[in-house]
Amino acid sequence: MNKKQLAIRYSIEFVVIVLGVLISFNIQRNADLKREKKEINDSIVTLTEEIQTNINYCEEHLNQLHNMKTVNDSILKNYYSFSKKDLIEWHNASPFGHSYLQNGELRYWTKNSDYKNIYLWMITWWNTFAQNEIYFNSLVASGLLLNIEESHIREDIESVFSTMKKRVQVNESLLKQNSDKIFIWAENKRDNSTKSISREFIFKNLKDLKLKNLLEDRSFRIELRIMSLKNYLNSLKSLKIKLNEEYNK
């Protein structure tokens, strides 16, 4: 075999090797892209499930805030005459005080035993907002959120779980500050008394303009919480629809 034939042979072998490498690379690249796409789609499915869980939670939480507002407005309307019996009746009709059982089930405080310390929580509770964000946080930590090619979807997810949620948290903190002031008002009454007195005695006999102003502020803060939570709830529902439309084609 002469030099020319060898050159042609080696050139062909080189081209075959290069083509083989390129084909192998493309096959691997396509496999990686399919795997990444499946991983993202699976992540979106799980995130959508978490969003639905949060929608359910927000709807329940919104109902609690509406009930809290109803009870607080009843207190203001009957400010100088309401009794413990009134508080119990109002809360039984519009409950917001609650706890979670071991199985995660929600139980509203409507039993007689729940009302032993009614003045401690009925007028000072703000109901903490604590939705589930485990999977969203894992998406951020793993970097999968950045792998979503559709920028508008990625931005919507970040906006809902960051910007929109922040407004809910801000109004929650403002209501908590108001609740703390009411609690301090009651404790100051106890501490400044020359004899031992109960919170029930304070709220029945020592109500003043300062407390009334605080309760009026409380109603306003609850309204802000309701407004921001409604907006957040709508954004969750809208995001879920967009994800279903984009990834269930």
Residues 195-223 pLDDT 10s: 999 988 999 899 999 999 999 999 999 99
pTM metric for this prediction: 0.84
Pair of tokens at residue 71: 């009870």
User: For residues 62 and 223, is the Cβ–Cβ distance under 8 A?
Assistant: no
Burial class (CB in 10 A: 0-12, 13-18, 19+), 217: middle
Domain hosting residue 112, numbered range: 3-247
CB atoms within 10 A of CB 229: 21
**DSSP E strands, the chain:** 98-100, 106-108
Nearest in space to 165 (alpha carbons), one of 236, 220, 60, 221: 236
* Residue in this structure with the two tokens 């779980």, named with its chain if needed: 161
Name residues whose C-beta falls within 8 Å of residue 197's C-beta, 6 or more positions apart in sequence.
189, 190
pLDDT beyond 70 at 6: no
The predicted pLDDT at position 30 comes to 55
The predicted pLDDT at position 136 comes to 87
pLDDT beyond 70 at 19: no
User: For residues 78 and 66, is the Cβ–Cβ distance under 8 A?
Assistant: no
Residues 134-169 pLDDT 10s: 888 888 888 878 778 788 888 999 999 888 999 999
The predicted pLDDT at position 144 comes to 78
Residues 162-192 pLDDT 10s: 889 999 999 999 999 999 999 999 999 999 9
The predicted pLDDT at position 145 comes to 80
> What's the number of domains the chain is made of?
1
Residues 100-147 pLDDT 10s: 888 888 999 999 999 988 887 888 999 999 998 888 888 888 887 877
